[in-house]
Amino acid sequence: MFILSRSLVHRRTREAHTQKCIKQLEDRIEEVSGFLRTSLTDLQVSSVTSHPSARADPGLTDLRANAHGQTSAIKDLYRRLDQLNEKSRRQYIDLQKEVRIEKDRLGQFNENLHKTVDSRSTELAINCIQLVLNPIISVLSISDRSKLPDLQIVATRARHRSQPQEIRKLAESLLAVKLALAMKITLLEKKEQEEHENLRAEISRLAETAKSFLPPKIDRELD
């Protein structure tokens, strides 16, 4: 159970880190987008005020078209970031469900195993005691038999003092299940780590794409 709890905390920490990286990239894209909008507005106002004939200037038309293309590209970046964020969220929820199912299954297995051990241990102890006491009881008088201890109590005490081979086998089975579950959790963590690394690489690539929309001078100012 401790392994499950520690793994869940570790996943939540990495998920928070990923969300932080995505938020930083979103803030940077918003900053770039705002800078472009402000620059374009200033340029349009300046051109119209200083040169009324600039409304028909082909250069201004090209600038507007270029700005529109950059805005569309930034919107596409936002869309892809939303998709990555949603994918990461779904993977995290699915992983939580799988761990919860494994935890419940192990708990049910433990409960059934303890019931089986108690039942079989008591049965074995009673059988052993009966083999010893039955010949003695058969030769005792009725009054003497009433003084014998309760067979169930004797069997319970014997069960706590003995470790039959069958009980050891059941304990070994439980250990094998726990080890298998630990290995499965390790594989899930490795898979999740690879997915997070791919996500970080995609975020870095999107950040570089966003920077490429700006002239070198503006990009240095934002850095």
Tens digits of per-residue pLDDT, 116-141? 766 766 666 666 656 655 555 554 44
Q: Which of 88-97, 151-160, 172-181 has the highest mean pLDDT?
A: 88-97
Output DSSP code: residue 54.
G
**In the chain, what is the greatest distance between 2 CA atoms, to the nearest angstrom?**
129
* Separation between Cα atoms, residue 59 and residue 23, nearest integer Å: 36
**pLDDT for the residue 80:** 75
71 CB contacts (<8 Å, ≥6 apart)?
33, 36
Element housing 170 (H / E): helix 165-211
Report whether pLDDT(102) > 50. Answer: yes
Q: How confident is the model at residue 108 (pLDDT cuts 50, 70, 90)?
A: confident
Query: Which comes out higher in pLDDT, residue 91 or 50?
Result: 91
Q: What is the token pair recorded at 114?
A: 């303890």
95 CB contacts (<8 Å, ≥6 apart)?
11, 188, 192
Helices marked H in 52-164 — which ranges?
Answer: 58-139, 142-145, 151-161
pTM over 0.85: no
Tokens 């089986």 correspond to what residue?
Answer: 116
HSE-up of residue 18 (Cα within 13 Å, Cβ side): 27
Q: How confident is the model at residue 65 (pLDDT cuts 50, 70, 90)?
A: low
- The stretch 132-157 carries a mean pLDDT of 50
Report whether pLDDT(55) > 50. Answer: no
